[in-house]
Amino acid sequence: MKKLSVVDECPIDTTINVLKGKCKASVVLKINEGLTRFGLLKNGISISAKLLALQLNELEEDGIVIKEKNSNNPLQTSYQLTPDGKSLCSIIQQMKLWGTGYKLFIHN
């Protein structure tokens, strides 16, 4: 497992680097909610298949998700959260709450 997003100087920056990217936080939450197959994730998030594949690959390289290929015909790919990915969900939920409140505050 190759950790791409680790920043030694600041653990907060490490967390931000893991989540940096289009819809990565949403992808993690959707997998946590049970959308584990690629097609279901693509339909559950407004993102192109190419970009979703890129984000999932980066999350896999950072040890947040595990990719599983099922030998069905047609081939199905599914994803699971690692323990690090599961622990990240509570942080993302808090960020979501903060962002919702902030959006309400700046629009009033």
Provide the pairing of β-strand 76-81 with 65-70: antiparallel
User: Which residues on neighbouring strands pair with residue 37, listed in sequence order?
Assistant: 78
Rounded Cα–Cα distance for residues 73 and 55 (Å): 25
Token pair listed for 36: 């584990």
pLDDT band at 6 (very low <50, low <70, confident <90, very high): low
Rounded Cα–Cα distance for residues 31 and 27 (Å): 6
Q: What value does the mean pLDDT take over residues 52-81?
A: 91
Task: Say what the pLDDT of residue 70 is.
Answer: 80
Token pair listed for 18: 């893991």
pLDDT band at 91 (very low <50, low <70, confident <90, very high): very high
How would you classify residue 21: left for phi > 0, otherwise alpha for psi between -120 and 50, otherwise beta? Answer: left
Alpha helices in the chain (DSSP H): 11-19, 24-33, 38-44, 49-61, 83-106
Rounded Cα–Cα distance for residues 14 and 88 (Å): 12
**12-59 per-position pLDDT tens digit:** 888 999 999 899 999 999 999 998 999 899 999 989 999 999 999 999
Ranges 32-36, 68-72, 75-79, 88-92: which has the least confidence: 68-72
Residue type, 9: E
